[in-house]
Structure 1
Amino acid sequence: MDTAMQDRALGAVLAGACGDALGAPYEFGPPLVAEQPVEMRGGGPFGWEPGEWTDDTSMAIPVLEAVANGARWNETRTHGRLLAAWSDWAQDAPDVGAQTRAVLGRLTANTEDAARAAALAVHEQQGRSAGNGSLMRTAPLALGFLGDGGKRPLAVAARRVSDLTHHEDDAGDACVLWTVAIRHAVRRGKLDVRRGVPLLPRERRTLWLDRIAEAEHSAPADHTERNGWVVAALQAAVSAISTGDGLVDTLERAVRGGGDTDTVAAITGGLAGALAGASALPEQWTVLVHGWPGKRLDWLRSLAVRAVDRTPGPLGMPVRRS
């Protein structure tokens, strides 16, 4: 893997964490005017420290650790370990998404079958289950499938990880689209949110093409009232990336959209960081960002380096340098 590709792979992880910490103070707030500065100042409804990442990054870390440890995503024990890690983290976490907390609270065992059963039960009780809580955590999966032939296995893995807590199709679809787009951005340095559409169920492809087109002609603030919904969160992220001028401006636009700002900015950072690379992150952010489990961004970088070095692709094939 060449230096530029590695930089983009690290960017997918680190920009997500930076976006998360940047958006944390503004969570649940209204859209911000364009002239208002966006600062990594801490605070917000959960009293975050300046630069502290939230549940968005905390839930992504066990996924990244699994990639770094060479996990096999077609094995049920990999998913059981994720559930165990999330359950342990959630016991003391200051914030856990309502849907995710409900599912983890219903678990009878840290197994994939038990998680799917709990996710279905929550879906049936609430009548919906397409929150943005699975999309925010799946970006690191792309690092495990960068080799030739990795696109389709990545789509399967992304949906399977989403299904652990989010039963509804919209959530799984969004994770497929986003992780495939991140993989393409890392490999080619190009934006293509539609690249994963052929991997969705045939009857849902036109729906998503329409949703993506709508996002490209909108502003993040157009989705404020609904961006706790995975579709609106993805659309807000697409909007920020489509209109942003560089990585910093893109993440700031995501935050200015208001609403679930930390999650939208974390989602945005996964793809925007894969396009721009970790080197595009400003030092005033990277020296400040930290969070569970008591680590700083340098630790997250080291973990991402391990993930990139350990798993060039599911087939063990070299990554193309193009």
Structure 2
Amino acid sequence: MIMTPAQLDRAAGVLVGQACGDALGVPYEFAVLPDGEPEMIGGGLGPYAPGEWSDDTQMSICIARVAATGADLTSVAAQDSVASAFEEWLAGGASDVGVQTGTLLRGVGRVPGPRGEILRAASRALHEETGRSAGNGALMRTAVVGLTRLLDRAATATAARAMAELTHFDPLAGDACVLWSELVRSAVLDGPGDGTPELALELLPPARRDQWQRWLADVIADPTPARFPNNGYTVAALQAAYAAVVFALRGRPDTAVRAGLVAAVRAGHDTDTVAAIAGGALGALFGRSAIPAEWRARIHGWPGLRAAELATLATDTATRGLSA
């Protein structure tokens, strides 16, 4: 398959859209929301410079740099590379890190052995010990996984769950990543279509499909991201981000990305993460060219990248995955 210019634009939009949502939400994370439209003014928990993205996009870049080589993210070698990239990021680039992710990465830092296997084992042990590993920290970095095998939805789903389990072993975290990665994959191939994108419940284990159907139906009934305030939890984070996407699709196409990301930030609480998750999907649906130019010009962050480099990482991931 040779990607069309429109498909390449949508692929480029995945990481650029995520980073724009991330940087737009950074100033308001667990803070008072502005009276007017949110702006990329920096600050937040970092603190961050205006337009700087946070750990949401930083960790996505760790995955993207491996995936952009054409690597199969379900392979042991690729998972070792991603886990090593996470550890190196924590040691030398992390401006912020989630509690669960930080605990795991610090805990395995001195443990010898294959990095992916060691990290996944620690992730599983934490889940079995606490029963609480369904935070949004895997979902926030999953959009780029949707680019890795554009013609193979089963491979995309397997990769999404594998990447989630490196730090978030709860099956619900894996489910959320499967659903969102598939949304991105299909959006890049087909664009926004004429209606609300249905998330692919058939890719989930049958025992959990009905519950996910109820969670998603609640979003469709009223796509207001602020209705899902407990968005540090992977289910609520997906609901809030999905609501932002549905809200955007029901509005004007020429302002959809801006409207969706503003709505995502207005969800409150974990604003950068919800907007980053939504931004990856909105970029996949509408393309880099639909993202406001002033936002694209402003975003930057670890490891010294800007929008153009994010776009290249994303399109390399898509095109090299097709030829792998």
Q: Normalization by structure 1: what TM-score? A: 0.92
* Match of residue 320 from structure 1: none
Q: Do residues 143 (structure 1) and 151 (structure 2) align?
A: no
**1:76/1:111 contact within 8 Å kept:** no
Instruction: Output the aligned Cα RMSD.
Output: 1.6
Q: Do residues 259 (structure 1) and 269 (structure 2) align?
A: yes
Q: Do residues 200 (structure 1) and 204 (structure 2) align?
A: yes
SS of 2:169's partner is coil
Q: 5 Å matches for 1:12-161?
A: 12-30=14-32, 36-92=36-92, 93-107=94-108, 108=111, 109-147=113-151, 150-161=152-163
Q: How far apart are 1:307 and its partner, in Å?
A: 2.0
After superposition, the C-alpha distances for 1:89-110 in whole angstroms (9 at most, x for unaligned) are: 1124121111111111222245
**2:11/2:188 contact within 8 Å kept:** yes
Q: How far apart are 1:30 and its partner, in Å?
A: 4.5
After superposition, the C-alpha distances for 1:217-264 in whole angstroms (9 at most, x for unaligned) are: 24211112x100010000001111111231011001100111000000
SS of 2:317's partner is helix
* Match of residue 291 from structure 1: 301
Q: Go from structure 1 to structure 2 and tell me whether the alpha carbon gap of 1:156 and 1:99 turns closer, same or farther (over 3 Å shift).
A: same
SS of 1:91's partner is helix
Aligned partners of 1:186 and 1:199: how far apart in 2? 18
Q: How far apart are 1:31 and its partner, in Å?
A: 5.2
Aligned partners of 1:9 and 1:305: how far apart in 2? 6
Q: 5 Å matches for 1:172-251?
A: 172-190=174-192, 193-216=197-220, 217-224=222-229, 226-244=230-248, 245=251, 246-251=256-261
Q: How far apart are 1:126 and its partner, in Å?
A: 3.4
**1:84/1:110 contact within 8 Å kept:** no
- Percent identity, please: 43
Q: How far apart are 1:73 and its partner, in Å?
A: 2.3
Aligned partners of 2:103 and 2:130: how far apart in 1? 10
Stretches of structure 2 that go unaligned for 5 or more consecutive residues are none
SS of 1:42's partner is coil
User: Given residue 268 of structure 2, which amino acid in structure 1 is its aligned partner?
Assistant: G
Aligned partners of 1:280 and 1:188: how far apart in 2? 16
* Match of residue 319 from structure 1: none
Q: How far apart are 1:121 and its partner, in Å?
A: 2.5
Aligned partners of 1:13 and 1:296: how far apart in 2? 11
**1:31/1:259 contact within 8 Å kept:** no
Aligned length: 309
**2:147/2:321 contact within 8 Å kept:** yes
Q: 5 Å matches for 1:298-309?
A: 298-309=308-319
Q: Go from structure 1 to structure 2 and tell me whether the alpha carbon gap of 1:221 and 1:69 turns closer, same or farther (over 3 Å shift).
A: same
After superposition, the C-alpha distances for 1:161-201 in whole angstroms (9 at most, x for unaligned) are: 10010010110000000000111111111366544210100
